[in-house]
C-alpha cells in the first residue's frame, strides 16, 4: 500500500480532549452562576445527545443543520431539565462555544506538525467549519485544510462524508488515510477504500472507558499517540 | 470600525504571481515537447478564458463545476488551437496543475504569517479546494482555513461567495475583511458589508498592466504588500 497523500483526522476524542475541556468550562460556568452540579455527568449527557441529534439529519428527517445548532438545542434542553432559568442569551451562546475551546491531547500539536511535513493534514470531523477553525486557533492545530461534515454536507459515518472529502482534495479514497480513536469511524472509511489509522485514546470518556480501548479491525496502523503515528509514517 | 476577526484573501494575483508561474511552467512544457511558442501570450489566453468559463456557471447555464475542470477545458481548446496533438493524458493533466503550483509574491508568506497571529486568515478564491491546498503546500501559505467558490458553491463576485463564507466562519460580514488586488472584488464585498483591503499588485498582468494600479473605491485599507497590511492592522 502506498503512502497516503492526505491524513484525515477525526477531532473530538482523537485530536482533542472534549470531555475534560467541557467539564472545565462547565465548572467555570457553575462558579460564575453560583451553582453546583455534577458537571461530569452534565458533559456526558450533552455528548449523549450528539449522535441522536445528528441522526435526525442523517436520516433525512431534518434538513442539513450544522453541529453548533445541534449542540445548542441539546444544551438548552439540558439546562431546562436541570432548572437553570433566566440565563442571558450571551451566557448560553458562550457556553455552547465550549466545543470551540477544546484542549488538544498533549501529543497532538507535535504529531500533526511532524505529519504535515510530508502529508496534507486535514480535519474530517462532524464539527462545523467555525467550530473547527476557532478550535484550531485556540489549540494551535496546524491544519492544512478544514474539511468536515459541513464541507461534505454529510455527517459521518455516511459514505459521502468520506468520499466527498477525498474528492474535494482531488484524491482517490486509497490516497487518504482516516485517523481516529473510534473503530466504527475507521470501519466506515475502510469499507470505502480509505487507509486507516487507529489512535488509542483510553481516557476520552473518562476513567472508566469501556469502548475503543484497542483496535478491533485490520487497520493500516494502530498507535498510541499522534507522535507514534508520525513515527509509523516516517515523518 | 472594529478590527476584523477574519481576513479573506483573493489568491490569483493577490497572494500568488499566477502569470509568471504559469509562463515558467509553459516554458518547461515547451522545452520537454521540443516546441517554441509565445508562452506569455498562451498564459494570457488561458487566463482570458477564466471569466467566460465561470460565467457559464454563475449564470446557471451550467451546473456547479470546479475551476480545475474549467481550466482543463480552456487548456484543451488552446492546445488544439495551437496545433498540439498527441499529448498524453498525463502530460495535459500535469500542465493543467500549473495552477496548483503558483509562486507567492515575495511578501505573501511573511505577511500572512504575521496577520495569522491576530486574525483568522482564509483564502476566498474562485479556485477549488484541491487547487488551493496543493498551492498552499507548494508555496508555504499558512491558511487557517481554505474557503473558496467550492465551499460556498458560488463564484465571486456573486453575493453568496462572500456571504456563505462569512456564515461558515460564524461571523457577520462586518467582522470579515476582503483583501484583494482587484477593485471589482472589493466593490462586491463592500456592498455586502465586508471591510476591504486593496493590495496593489502592479505587475500581476505583466509589464504593461493598465488595471487595478490604484484603489478606485473607499476601501478600509489600501497598501502595497501583505506586510504593509500587517503593519496597517497592527500585527
Rounded-to-integer distance, Cα B171 and Cα B5, Å: 8
CA dihedral B109, B113, B115, B117 (to 10 degrees): 170
* Nearest CB partner across the interface for B144, out of A128, A136, A150: A136
How far apart CA A72 and CA A49 sit, in angstroms, is 11
**DSSP-assigned states of every residue in A44-74:** HHHHHTHHHHHHHHHTTSS----HHHHHHHH
Instruction: Give Cβ neighbours of residue B234 (< 8 Å, ≥ 6 apart).
Output: B118
Report how far apart the first and last C-alpha atoms of chain A are (Å, whole number).
Answer: 17
pLDDT beneath 50, residues of chain A: none
E strands, chain A, are 6-9, 120-125, 145-148, 176-180, 195-199, 221-223
In this complex, the residue of A137, A144, A151 whose CB is nearest that of residue B151 is A151
Question: In terms of Cα–Cα distance, which of B175, B187, B161 is closest to B57?
Answer: B161
Whose cell is 479546494? That residue is B129
Beta bridge partners of B124: B147
- Cα distance from B117 to chain A (closest Cα, Å)? 9
User: pLDDT of A199-219, one tens digit each?
Assistant: 999 999 998 899 999 999 999
Adjacency order of strands within the sheet including B145-148? B145-148, B120-125, B6-9, B176-180, B195-199, B221-223
Reference B226, options B106, B95, B60, B49; nearest CA is B106
Per DSSP, the three-state class of B17 is coil
B130 contacts in A (CB within 8 Å)? 168-171
Of A132, A150, A168, the CB nearest to B150: A168
Closest by CA to A127, choosing from A154, A160, A149, is A149
Cross-chain Cβ contact A171/B134 below 8 Å: no
Contacts of B134 in chain A (CB under 8 A): 170
Q: Where are the beta strands (DSSP E) in chain B?
A: 6-9, 120-125, 145-148, 176-180, 195-199, 221-223
Chain B residues with CB inside 8 Å of A151's CB? 129, 151
Report the pLDDT value the prediction gives residue A208, as an integer from 0 to 100: 86
The secondary structure element, H or E, covering residue B139 is helix B129-139
Torsion angle, alpha carbons of B137, B138, B141, B146, to 10: -50
Q: Is B136 on the interface with A (CB under 8 A)?
A: yes
Question: Between chains, do B133 and A169 touch, taking CB under 8 Å as contact?
Answer: yes
A72 touches chain B (CB under 8 A): no
For residue A98 the three cell numbers come to 465550549
DSSP state of A103: P
Other Cβ atoms closer than 10 A to A61:
8
- Any A CB within 8 A of B130 CB: yes
Residue A84 φ/ψ, nearest 5 degrees: -80, 115
Nearest chain A residue to B66 by CA distance is: A168
pLDDT at B206: 94
| Min Cα–Cα distance to chain B from A115, Å | 13
- Please state, in angstroms and rounded to a whole number, the distance separating the CA atoms of residues B115 and B110: 9
Whether the complex's predicted ipTM is more than 0.90 is answered with yes
pLDDT digits (tens, 9 = 90+) for A148-177: 999 999 999 999 999 999 999 999 999 999
Nearest residue of A to residue B118, measured between CA atoms: A137
A-chain residues within 8 Å CB-CB of B129? 145, 147, 151, 168-170
| Contact predicate A23/A43, CB 8 Å | yes
Global pTM? 0.97
Radius of gyration of chain B (CA): 18
* β-bridge mates for residue A222, sequence order: A198
Which 8-state DSSP code applies to residue B102? P
Q: Do A229 and A197 meet the contact criterion of CB atoms below 8 Å apart?
A: yes
Which domains does chain B show, CATH number per domain?
Answer: 6-17+102-232 (3.40.50.1000), 18-100 (1.10.150.240)
pLDDT along chain B (235 residues), means of 10: 94 98 98 94 97 98 98 98 94 98 98 98 98 98 98 98 98 98 98 98 94 97 98 97
Distance, CA of B23 to CA of B42 (rounded, Å): 8
CB atoms A130 and B68 under 8 Å: no
pLDDT at B208: 86
pLDDT of res. A73: 98
Q: Which residue has the cell 502592479?
A: B202
CB atoms within 10 A of CB A26: 20
Q: Is A144's CB within 8 Å of B137's CB?
A: yes
Q: Does B170 touch chain A (CB under 8 A)?
A: yes
Amino acid at each position: 500500500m502506498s503512502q497516503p497523500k492526505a491524513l484525515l483526522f477525526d477531532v473530538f476524542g482523537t485530536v482533542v480532549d472534549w470531555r475534560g475541556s467541557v467539564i472545565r468550562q462547565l465548572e467555570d460556568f457553575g462558579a460564575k452562576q453560583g451553582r453546583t452540579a455534577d458537571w461530569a455527568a452534565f458533559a456526558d449527557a450533552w455528548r449523549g445527545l450528539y449522535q441522536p441529534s445528528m441522526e435526525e439529519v442523517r436520516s433525512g428527517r431534518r434538513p442539513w443543520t450544522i453541529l453548533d445548532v445541534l449542540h445548542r438545542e441539546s444544551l438548552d434542553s439540558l439546562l431546562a431539565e436541570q432548572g437553570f432559568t433566566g440565563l442571558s442569551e450571551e451566557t448560553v451562546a458562550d457556553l455552547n462555544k465550549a466545543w470551540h475551546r477544546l484542549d488538544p491531547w498533549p501529543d497532538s500539536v507535535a504529531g500533526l506538525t511532524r505529519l504535515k511535513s510530508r502529508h496534507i493534514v486535514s480535519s474530517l470531523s462532524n464539527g462545523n467549519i467555525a467550530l473547527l477553525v476557532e478550535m484550531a486557533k485556540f489549540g494551535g492545530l496546524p491544519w492544512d485544510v478544514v474539511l468536515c461534515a459541513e464541507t461534505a454536507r454529510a455527517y459521518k459515518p455516511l459514505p459521502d462524508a468520506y468520499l466527498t472529502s477525498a474528492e474535494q482534495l482531488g484524491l482517490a479514497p486509497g490516497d487518504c488515510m482516516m485517523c481516529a480513536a473510534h473503530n466504527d469511524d475507521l470501519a466506515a472509511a475502510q469499507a470505502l477504500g480509505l487507509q486507516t489509522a487507529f489512535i488509542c485514546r483510553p481516557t476520552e470518556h473518562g476513567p472508566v472507558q469501556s469502548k475503543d480501548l484497542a483496535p478491533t479491525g485490520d487497520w493500516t496502523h494502530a498507535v498510541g499517540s499522534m507522535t507514534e503515528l508520525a513515527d509509523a509514517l516516517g515523518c
